[in-house]
Amino acid sequence: MFVVGGGVLAALAVGTVVALAIVQQDGGSDGQAGGDSGGQTADTSTDATASPTADPSFEETRLPPLPKPREFIADADKDLAPFTADEFYAGETMTVEGREYTKTGTDATEDCTEGVSAELGAVLTEHGCVALLRATFTGSGAAVTVGVAQFPSEDDAVAANAAYTRNLLPLTAGDSPEFCQRGGCRTTTNQVGRYAYFTIAGNSDGTPDSGDGTVAQQAARDGNDHAFSRIILRGETQASASASALVEERRNNS
């Protein structure tokens, strides 16, 4: 009995030891559940705030300034378009604010004493006038001759306009009527860029004009406005062509 009892005790002792050993293996040496070995875990995450790759940079490219129309009509080195009556007075009519006039004759000369009074011819010559274009338009019982003089520079045109003395002579060639032969005519003078421009207008039947608000007075003003618009168009056309050439050159060099 004693032996058997001793065996039972021995078995119980062995079981206790095994149980303790199992508890220690499961619980770990430091007694914390889960078996944390206490070692450091490698950090494999990336830094979310790291700087991104810098954006690529490009060399700044600028187009040269586009030419302005006024630059062309003021500078003889840029104002290279032909200056002819057919080109300048293109078309068969002159229309200003709905008032239409028919072109009845044109004239062009490099002698600026022709087509003007002796006094005005002297002024134009003194300031270097290189060409004078004239055209006559008729409408609503009035006739008007528009004259445009070209000078070497804007300063020359300004000086000629300031020294203006009457007057442009009416162009009565072609289908133009005989007008302003007995006085009573309306005149204007003006300047833009290297151009001075003048008008003389009267009644188509040749009778003298007088008073305010007449068709001849309106025709003189309309001729003045038409000359201005044609000169500005000349500058715009050349500026546009120059801008197109700049764009094409940049495209070919890119």
Instruction: Give a yes or no: residue 39 inside a domain.
Output: no
According to the model, what pLDDT value does residue 8 have? 36
Instruction: Give a yes or no: residue 216 inside a domain.
Output: yes
Pairing mode, strands 99-109 and 131-139: antiparallel
Report field, pTM of the whole predicted structure over 0.85: no
Helix (H) or strand (E) holding 228: helix 215-253
Instruction: Give a yes or no: residue 50 inside a domain.
Output: no
Range of the domain at 212: 69-249
Instruction: Give a yes or no: residue 6 inside a domain.
Output: no
According to the model, what pLDDT value does residue 30 have? 41
Instruction: Give a yes or no: residue 32 inside a domain.
Output: no
Instruction: Give a yes or no: residue 53 inside a domain.
Output: no
CA distances from 184 to 134, 180, 209 (A): 20, 7, 5
Instruction: Give a yes or no: residue 163 inside a domain.
Output: yes
- Per the structure, the count of domains in the chain is 1
At residue 227's C-alpha, the angle toward residues 225 and 232, to 5°, is: 95
Taking only the tens of pLDDT, the chain with its 254 residues reads 433 444 433 333 333 333 333 333 333 334 333 333 334 333 333 344 444 555 655 455 565 677 788 999 999 999 999 999 999 999 999 999 999 999 999 999 999 999 999 999 999 999 999 999 999 999 999 999 999 999 999 999 999 999 999 999 999 988 999 999 999 999 999 999 999 999 999 999 999 999 999 999 999 999 999 999 999 999 999 999 877 766 666 666 66
Instruction: Give a yes or no: residue 36 inside a domain.
Output: no
According to the model, what pLDDT value does residue 250 have? 62
CB distance 150 to 195 below 8 Å: yes
Q: Which are the contacts of 143, defined by CB distance < 8 A and separation ≥ 6?
A: 104, 136, 137, 170, 176, 177, 179, 180, 201, 202, 203, 204, 219
